[in-house]
Structure 1
Amino acid sequence: MALLADSEVFRAFATYAVIVLVKMMALGPVTAYYRITRKVFANLEDAAGNSRGGDPKKYIRTDQDVERVRRCHLNDIENIIPFIGVGLLYALSNPDLSSALLHFRIFTVSRLLHTVSYLTPLPQPSRALCFLVGYLVTLSMAFFTVRSLLYI
């Protein structure tokens, strides 16, 4: 583990991984905020605790804004988790620091912009382009990782 901590590439990966993970985690409280302020709940016990004596069943429904945040969160899960796995292996494959920083930074910016374009919402293709850029970065890291393993 000490060798990893001394690696500039690994430290850069860890920094950007934490940034995107914290961004992803922040969407949980945002979802809760939207649910509470719009009185939109998925479970009867949640609705009962927030119905103030009224019929809790009327608060079991969907809301466009709540669903938008949830979909953004799901998209993060589908993209950030592969980035973490592939990025770790990529960092361990001894890439050039400048190349690694480019990969990590582009992915992080693409996910931040994806969230902004999803929650604002900005017109398409802004969200699709942000998704595609991050996806291609992860594929690029996977390609370079496999290539480095084949030449060992």
Structure 2
Amino acid sequence: MIELSLNNPVIQAYIVHSTILAGKLLLMSILTAAVRITLKVFPNPEDASFLRGKVKFGDPTVERVRRAHRNDLENIPAFWILAAFYLTINPSAAWAIMFFRVYTACRIVHTLVYVIPVPQPSRAITFGIAYAIKMCMAAQIILYYITSISFIFYSGVLGAKMLFMSFLTARQRYRKNVFANEEDAKAKKGVVKFDDQDVERVRRAHLNDLENIPAFWVLGALYLTTGPSAATAITLFRVYAAGRILHTIVYAVTPIRQPARAIAFGVPMLISLFMGAKVATHYLADM
């Protein structure tokens, strides 16, 4: 395992590039606000009244920036977690630093060619390279920890699962030949459409992952600090990962009538709440 020291250049590279990506995420909110103010279109009446604009939803320029922001939210948090776990497997310093640099550069360029916009395949290339880097790290994490069946192993599995959702969404878009951006539709001779039922079903499943899995990463890591039984902790992590995978299968891959999805959602939710309660009660005495 790598020496977790702030003097380690790999750790330093991770911190620097993670901070850059966090700053980029924050700037996307400012960019969205700037575009709204420039165009004088707002989602709330009080904003429109204060800035002498109008309430309007679906403005193509605003929505393009918001889609670029959502793409960051779907991808950058997974990088933070996967890269942090990747550090624990003692990777080659040269490879790790290169991964962090290339990933950060690709995410920045991805936003630039998304917002401007630039014709495809510019956005596809930048997204694909960054995506491949995360999948490579996830695969190495899973292979390294597969014999120990630990929190990091299941976190790697869930990270790879979240990445797979982007691929599944793209597959549905190409299958139905419907896209969210004009340059995509033009490149594939498709149509711009935002309400295709099959695409939106996969996107909802992806959003559900984004609403739940990052919380598991945090709560699971904190739960380990409370000194739980190894058997109990491993069971919780195993059942949680299985539940989230089944949730996607019955939601987006092969839709099954309820309560299949409710059960697949509810069991992992109860595990997260249980771990959260354990963490809170454990540290309550120190408050």
Partner of 1:125: 259
Gaps of 5+ in 2: 5-87, 89-144
Q: Which of 275, 278, 285 is matched with 1:144 structurally?
A: 278
> Which of the two has greater helix per residue?
1
**TM-score of the two chains, using structure 1 as the length reference:** 0.85
Question: Aligned pair 1:40/2:178, yes or no?
Answer: yes
Q: Which amino acid aligns with 1:128?
A: A
Matches of 2:219 and 2:204, distance apart in 1: 23
Aligned residue pairs total 143
Partner of 1:14: 152
> Larger C-alpha radius of gyration, 1 or 2?
2
Higher relative contact order (CA 8 A, sep 6+): 1
Partner of 2:163: 25
The offset of 1:20, in angstroms, is 1.0
Distance change >3 Å, CA 149–CA 101, structure 1 → 2: same
Superposed CA deviations along residues 2-42 of structure 1, whole A, max 9, x for unmatched, are: 69x6xx9x971111111111111101011111111211101
Percent identity between matched residues is: 39
Question: Aligned pair 1:60/2:192, yes or no?
Answer: yes
The offset of 1:103, in angstroms, is 1.1
Matches of 2:152 and 2:196, distance apart in 1: 36
Matches of 1:2 and 1:13, distance apart in 2: 19
Q: Which amino acid aligns with 1:84?
A: W
The correspondence of residues 48-87 of structure 1 with structure 2, limited to 5 A, is 48-51=186-189, 59-61=191-193, 62-87=195-220
Superposed CA deviations along residues 34-67 of structure 1, whole A, max 9, x for unmatched, are: 111211101111111111xxxx6xx011321111
The offset of 1:150, in angstroms, is 2.8
- Runs ≥4 residues deviating over 2 A: none
**TM-score of the two chains, using structure 2 as the length reference:** 0.47
C-alpha RMSD of matched pairs (Å): 2.3
Q: Which amino acid aligns with 2:157?
A: I
The offset of 1:108, in angstroms, is 0.6
Q: Which amino acid aligns with 2:192?
A: I
Q: Does the aligned pair in 1 maintain the 2:149–2:234 contact within 8 Å?
A: no
Matches of 2:229 and 2:152, distance apart in 1: 16
**SS of corresponding position for 2:228:** coil
Matches of 1:115 and 1:131, distance apart in 2: 9
Partner of 2:234: 101
